[in-house]
Amino acid sequence: SQQGEEDPQALSIQEGENATMNCSYKTSINNLQWYRQNSGRGLVHLILIRSNEREKHSGRLRVTLDTSKKSSSLLITASRAADTASYFCATDAGTGNQFYFGTGTSLTVIP
């Protein structure tokens, strides 16, 4: 079954506000990654968090991982219009061969 279900499906906020997206998955993982995809473009890797990590920061991004709840969250602080994109979480389900992507959260940041 598919891993990585994001919530909400769509989110619209004002510039400067924080955006939080959540991801839930179903089986054990080695890693969880977040990607961004601008409309009609490829995927940009944002951050990887390992199963033995609980929190990770990268610039304005903060990712948490709760393996007991099989969930992760991505927080974008002080959002900008350029953050408008779809955000996907991807899990490896322990195999390392393939990633399971969710359907994504579509974020719109209004200037």
Q: Interface with other proteins by CB under 8 A: which residues?
A: 4, 30-31, 33, 35, 40-45, 48, 88, 90, 92, 95-104
| Shortest Cβ 97–other proteins spacing (Å) | 5
Cβ 89 vs Cβ 6: under 8 Å = yes
| Shortest Cβ 79–other proteins spacing (Å) | 22
| Shortest Cβ 87–other proteins spacing (Å) | 11
Specify which residues 101 forms β-bridges with: 90
Residue closer to other proteins (CB basis): 19 or 104: 104
Please report, for residues 13, 75, 78, 82, the alpha-carbon distance to residue 102 in angstroms, rounded to integers and kept in the order given.
22, 17, 25, 22
Residue closer to other proteins (CB basis): 35 or 74: 35
| Shortest Cβ 64–other proteins spacing (Å) | 19
Residue closer to other proteins (CB basis): 49 or 76: 49
Residue closer to other proteins (CB basis): 18 or 30: 30
CA distance 44 to 26: 24
CA distance 23 to 58: 18
CA distance 99 to 77: 26
Beta-carbon neighbour count of residue 108 at 10 Å? 14
